[in-house]
A = this chain, B = another copy of it.
Amino acid sequence: MVGMSLRVALLGLLSFAGPASGYDLTKMFTLTINHVWQAKHSQIYPELNRMAADGLISVAQPGPRGRKIYTITEHGAATMRDWLVSHTPSGTMRSEQSLQAFLLPLLEPPQALEALERMADATQARLDGLEEMKKVHMSGQGGGDIGHYALDLGIMQLRAILAWTHQTADDIRASAAPDS
């Protein structure tokens, strides 16, 4: 089965934070995992119902306001571990950022430089966001925090993009003004 990602993400959050409702999980999604995966409540609620039907999570009797608390089952935990250990992630990459990079040579140098500058600004802004998150993260408890490594990965990738924008801008300037 493909399209396992949302399930695994939810199992991970339940495993880390303990029993929670769909509403809680929706908030946790946007607050913690957002730079890596996104999902709205309209996708999460039906998925939780399917996961319960499949025995990956169990549901308590609805509480006040129809609140339904989900708990990860042993089957769910095993499924998640198995995916982490044995699923080779699809390398499918779909990035508007990279698409613009691909087409950049079709622009005249001045326009290309302008586009690069916008990209650099946007990347810097996202990088600032992640670095801010990391500060908050570290001022909490130390050690085996969920999301900790993904934050580092995000930061390193954004730094790579930023370095590329500078290098490419230099390259374009150099080829636009051939001799010194």
B98 touches A84 (CB 8 A): no
Most central of A9, A87, A147, A157 by chain B CB within 10 Å: A157
Whether A102 contacts B150 in the complex (CB less than 8 A), given A89-B96, A91-B122, comes out as: yes
Chain A stretch 4-38: residues in CB contact (< 8 A) with chain B: 5, 8-9, 12, 15-16, 33, 35-38
B167 touches A98 (CB 8 A): no
A122 vs chain B, min Cβ distance (A): 6
B98 touches A153 (CB 8 A): yes
Partner of A102, one of B97, B149, B167: B149
Q: Is A93 an interface residue (CB 8 A)?
A: yes
A99 touches B175 (CB 8 A): no
Chain A stretch 32-58: residues in CB contact (< 8 A) with chain B: 33, 35-38
Chain A stretch 76-109: residues in CB contact (< 8 A) with chain B: 80-81, 84-85, 87-107
B36 touches A85 (CB 8 A): no
Chain A stretch 139-166: residues in CB contact (< 8 A) with chain B: 143-150, 152-154, 156-157, 159-161, 163-164
A161 touches B157 (CB 8 A): yes
B36 touches A95 (CB 8 A): yes
Residue contacts A-B, CB under 8 angstroms, 5 given: A81-B111, A89-B122, A98-B150, A101-B150, A157-B161
